[in-house]
Amino acid sequence: MNIHEFQAKQILGRFGAPVPKGQPASTPEEAAAAFKALGQPKAVVKAQIHAGGRGKAGGVKLLSSADEAREFAAKLLGKPLVTHQTGPEGRVVRRVYIEEASQVARELYLGLLVDRNSGSVSVIASTEGGMDIEEVAAKTPERITTEAINPLLGLSGFVARKIAFSLGVKDKEVNQFVTLLTALHRAFWETDASLIEINPLVVTADGRVICLDAKMSFDDNGLFRHPDIRELRDPNEEDPAETEAAKFELSYVHLDGNIGCMVNGAGLAMATMDIVKYYGAEPANFLDVGGGANTEKVAAAFRILLSDKRVKAVLINIFGGIMRCDVLAQGVVEAAQQVSLSLPLVVRMEGTNVDQGKKILADSGIKVIAAADLADAARRVTEAIGARKAP
Ligand code: GDP
Ligand code: MN
């Protein structure tokens, strides 16, 4: 789960990381009031969306009066902001963040993430602050330092100092950097984060080291331990189909193709996607309804699939182990009736109560294309949309 910059800064601030003072606003009036409340000659107004690249897209501006803050907020709020990370449709700005301005002397990059290669949390640091780290990694990898943090020892002072030196941080700024990184590292562990990205981390003209931008993501599987963080979920920033799927505890990932797939078991779901591709079409999603799905869950899964307007045909591939085929069939019939299904529907079922399942489908009056096996199912569904390529 991702959160907004201002929320990440509030969390990091609580752990003792230096962040500029600021206040979120959801109307131009609130933005003007927030500017006044800061009581400083200048402030930065920043669009709050779950995407970076706001600076270049005109979503970040240094302003010198409450009136300017009001005007700029009015320009941003309620409208989509298109950055290189949002896709062409952009993201609607529903809040802005008004923050004290910093006098930037140097911009650096600092990130912490779960590093599967080293089996630990790694710190990524670079002198190229304000740039996409992926781009730095591709063009000038020598400007990136990666330090795996031993999970048993934690972040030792000497490791933090080593990272500081690799960034050219000097003198009294070294201790500030060490304090900041220690705070980030503690925040990472204690919130079950999966990513903290400070881009840029800045050294100011008066020698302070602060987090000028902040991005935080959390491990969804750890969220039950952090009800306060779970509250920060912003449904406006999430794919509505994925939000709906989460409600029913379905594993659903939206993809770009046009074959809606409903499968039980992650391995079978991946095999189904592979074979759909092999026969010349693209899956519209990954969807694992799980082992013990009931009728309600299956119906929800089916509705979610069909809510994707790009879906041109549906492939249901279920192996009835714990999941019973009659339960599946009942769910499909209910959902198909609710949405008055008009797309081709290919069903391949095997296993527990398969005959009852087939009978329920046959008696339902829904047009079902029955498939004999996995390959047959893929063949039929790709044929149904005229995309079949392979033998
Ligand atoms: P992003 O473009 O979405 O990553 O948004 P950032 O929060 O990183 O802001 C973009 C850029 O705006 C930063 O890289 C800075 O160069 C600049 N910026 C943001 N806040 C300040 C500030 O207080 N002072 C100065 N001088 N520059 C700022
Ligand atoms: Mn940034």
365-387, pLDDT tens digit by residue? 899 999 999 999 999 999 999 98
The Å distance, Cα 47 to ligand 1 centre, comes to: 11
pTM equals 0.82
- For residue 337, is pLDDT > 90? no
Greater pLDDT, 294 or 285: 285
58 lines ligand 1 (CB under 6 A): no
The whole-number pLDDT of residue 294 equals 79
Residue owning the nearest CA to atom 13 of ligand 1: 130
Query: Burial level of 363, CB count in 10 A (0-12/13-18/19+)?
Result: exposed
- For residue 157, is pLDDT > 90? yes
Quickly list DSSP for 261-329: EEESSHHHHHHHHHHHHHTT--BSEEEE--TT--HHHHHHHHHHHHH-TT--EEEEEEEESSS-HHHHH
Mutation test residue for ligand 1: of 42, 103, 104, the one with most atoms within 8 Å of CB: 104
Domains of the chain are 1-19+104-238 (3.30.470.20), 21-101 (3.30.1490.20), 239-384 (3.40.50.261)
288 lines ligand 1 (CB under 6 A): no
Radius of gyration of the chain (CA): 26
176 lines ligand 1 (CB under 6 A): no
The Å distance, Cα 197 to ligand 2 centre, comes to: 8
- For residue 290, is pLDDT > 90? no
Q: What is the mean pLDDT of residues 142-166?
A: 96
Q: Is 244 a known active-site residue?
A: no
101 lines ligand 1 (CB under 6 A): yes
- For residue 343, is pLDDT > 90? yes
- Note the residue count of the chain: 391
- For residue 391, is pLDDT > 70? no
Residue owning the nearest CA to atom 9 of ligand 1: 55
Q: How far apart are CA 311 and CA 305, in angstroms?
A: 7
52 lines ligand 1 (CB under 6 A): yes
The whole-number pLDDT of residue 144 equals 96
- For residue 165, is pLDDT > 70? yes
Cα–Cα distances (Å) from 194 to 121, 189, 212, in that order, read 9, 9, 20
CB atoms within 10 A of CB 158: 9
Q: Is 97 a known active-site residue?
A: no
Q: Are strands 104-115 and 120-126 parallel, antiparallel or unpaired?
A: antiparallel
Ligand 1 atom nearest residue 54's Cα? 3
HSE-CB of 361 using CA atoms within 13 angstroms = 23
Lowest-confidence region among 77-81, 218-222, 323-327, 336-340: 336-340
194 lines ligand 1 (CB under 6 A): no
Encode pLDDT of 10-30 as tens digits.
999 999 999 999 999 999 999
Q: What is the mean pLDDT of residues 256-276?
A: 94
Q: What does pLDDT average to over the chain?
A: 94
The Å distance, Cα 81 to ligand 1 centre, comes to: 16
The Å distance, Cα 128 to ligand 1 centre, comes to: 13
Encode pLDDT of 191-233 as tens digits.
999 999 999 999 999 999 999 999 999 999 999 999 999 999 9
The Å distance, Cα 130 to ligand 2 centre, comes to: 6
Q: What is the mean pLDDT of residues 168-195?
A: 97
Of 109, 147, 237, 252, which residue is the catalytic one?
Answer: 109
The whole-number pLDDT of residue 42 equals 97
> Which-ligand-closest: CA of 204?
1
- For residue 390, is pLDDT > 80? no
